[in-house]
Amino acid sequence: MLVPHDSLRGLARRALCVALAASLAIHPVAAQLPELGDASQSVLSPAKERSIGETAMREIRQYEPSYIDDAEVEYFLNRLGRRLVQATDAKPEDFLFFALRDPTINAFAMPGGFIGVHSGLVLASQSESELAGVLAHEIGHVQQHHIARMLDKQSGASATMLAAFLLAILAAGRGPSGSAMAQATLAGTQAALIQNQLSYSQDFEREADRIGFQTLSASGFDVRGMANFFDRLGKAMRSSERSETAYLRTHPLSVERMADMQGRAQGAVPGVVADSNEYVLIRAKLDAEAGLPKDALARIQARQAPRRQDQAAKLYALARAYTRDNRATEAQKALADLRAMRFESPLVDSMLADMLLRQGKAAEAEQVCGQAFARYSDARFLLLCQVQALTESGKPERAAQLARDALVDTPNDERLWILQAKAYAAQGKVVEQQRAMAELYVVRGNLIAAVEQLQLAQRGGGGDFYTQSAVDSRLRELRNRLREERREGRPNGLQ
Ligand SMILES: [Zn+2]
């Protein structure tokens, strides 16, 4: 791995803990529930909301293995989420959906359109419409600025402090599994108070339900999905399976809410909505990754697969679980059976490429990803695969070129900056590698580390005149930004 995470993480975490302590000291957490008002009443500007969400997101990304750093999972969630957002008056590009590895059934929205989904929620959903129903509800919270309106009480605080506060709230809401997050910094009673503060009011919940239902219906999903799912959650809560009810701690479910949802669903014309192939495969992937490899394998082998999609999902999950268990031959056999079914999905192509890479057949993998990307141009993980395969098959110049072209339009793609840095490293182009790393740190909001990389590039003196001038001017730019941020009181160059 090219990135020296650890020292940075420590730094970020310390900064956040300080901010958190300050936030709690200045604003003692009185567990007062927010009143429902006009959505435009929020005093937080859209820019501040975005800034809070981005800061919290940067922290969350560092909580591996909790944060699922997986381009395929991200692709699926964002395709589903953006299809829903498209049915509203919001802009799809203002939302980002991400996954956390956590067996509890939960989803949460942060200011600025960042929506987190626990793997437990995806696994517990019994259809794509059910999952869509929960996402539509969260989108409703974002659209109505519910979280921002709850954070409003801290409106004197900086975005960094609010982000820290938000993370503490989320950690408390996540129960024992949240302990890896900011919860550790809180005394038990404070955590409990914060947790109370997080719970949306029943009015907010009803508003998110109503908007969510419209979104679900307008985007062509089965509108019964929402009521069915909440009905199951409610039953799980009554049978006191604590792990199943994390969602209900933050989104209180009332008899009225349930009746409203069922009423709305009954009034609608039921339609059969097929699950996408990507939904069943991503569910299978998360399933294969849960628990110990041997347990996952046994669980998947025992599964019934009555329908064609179930059979495909089972083979896909088996291939993943065998791979985890280092049984390459069995994994390849499962994939061959899946491909024989002609079950079309970019995820199947990606799995084939992954196995070819594992066998050292990088040139073949590059062919597979390149052809698949031409067909599924929104499946960005295929582009990442192509860049990686080009580097590994001895064509790092083409890999770097491909990454450079793609980064023009998507300069925030962390994975692509990493792959570009690797492509330059493979060519021995140290300065270019350091420039790519610097841009990676900029995307991560760590200007200090970005400046350090460029200083190394400057001192090393490699590269031609043009490269060095580019390093000089970027360095000046970032130093200015860092100075500005320090003036504004943002610590450590973290925004
Ligand atoms: Zn809610």
**Structural domain boundaries in the chain:** 5-267, 278-344
Tell me: the pLDDT tens digits for 375-422?
999 999 999 999 999 999 999 999 999 999 999 999 999 999 999 999
CA 80–ligand 1 middle distance (angstroms): 19
Main-chain phi, psi angles of 67, to 5 degrees: -75, 125
CA 478–ligand 1 middle distance (angstroms): 40
CA 179–ligand 1 middle distance (angstroms): 22
CA 15–ligand 1 middle distance (angstroms): 30
How does strand 114-118 pair with strand 107-110? antiparallel
Q: Provide the pLDDT for residue 48.
A: 84
Q: End-to-end distance of the chain based on CA atoms, in angstroms? A: 25
Angle at 247 between CA 155 and CA 173, to 5 degrees: 50
CA 32–ligand 1 middle distance (angstroms): 17
CA 215–ligand 1 middle distance (angstroms): 15
CA 50–ligand 1 middle distance (angstroms): 20
- In angstroms, rounded to a whole number, what is the distance separating the alpha carbons of residues 217 and 382? 31
CA 122–ligand 1 middle distance (angstroms): 17
- In angstroms, rounded to a whole number, what is the distance separating the alpha carbons of residues 104 and 192? 19
Sequence-distant (6+) residues with CB within 8 A of 326 are: none
CA 160–ligand 1 middle distance (angstroms): 24
CA 217–ligand 1 middle distance (angstroms): 18
CA 251–ligand 1 middle distance (angstroms): 4
- Report whether 168 contacts 186 (CB < 8 A): yes
CA 382–ligand 1 middle distance (angstroms): 34
The residues of the chain scoring below 70 in pLDDT are: 1-43, 64, 152-157, 165, 169-200, 236-250, 253, 268-271, 489-495
- Report whether 154 contacts 144 (CB < 8 A): no
> Which of 271, 15, 336 is CA-nearest to residue 159?
15
CA 447–ligand 1 middle distance (angstroms): 35
CA 269–ligand 1 middle distance (angstroms): 25
CA 205–ligand 1 middle distance (angstroms): 5
Q: Provide the pLDDT for residue 183.
A: 42
CA 202–ligand 1 middle distance (angstroms): 9
CA 35–ligand 1 middle distance (angstroms): 15
CA 137–ligand 1 middle distance (angstroms): 6
> Which of 21, 49, 289 is CA-nearest to residue 149?
49
CA 167–ligand 1 middle distance (angstroms): 17
CA 131–ligand 1 middle distance (angstroms): 14
CA 141–ligand 1 middle distance (angstroms): 7
CA 69–ligand 1 middle distance (angstroms): 25
CA 250–ligand 1 middle distance (angstroms): 7
CA 267–ligand 1 middle distance (angstroms): 22
Main-chain phi, psi angles of 38, to 5 degrees: -65, 135
> Which of 195, 196, 200, 145 is CA-nearest to residue 171?
195
CA 484–ligand 1 middle distance (angstroms): 38
CA 212–ligand 1 middle distance (angstroms): 10
CA 213–ligand 1 middle distance (angstroms): 12
**Which contacts of 387-391 are long-range, i.e. CB under 8 A and separated by 24 or more positions?**
387/416, 387/419, 387/420, 387/423, 388/357, 388/419, 388/422, 389/353, 389/357, 389/362, 389/363, 389/365, 390/362, 390/366, 390/423, 391/419, 391/422, 391/423, 391/426
- In angstroms, rounded to a whole number, what is the distance separating the alpha carbons of residues 108 and 150? 14
Q: Provide the pLDDT for residue 239.
A: 63
CA 156–ligand 1 middle distance (angstroms): 26
CA 418–ligand 1 middle distance (angstroms): 36
CA 132–ligand 1 middle distance (angstroms): 14
CA 219–ligand 1 middle distance (angstroms): 20
Structure tokens belonging to residue 160 = 């960094």
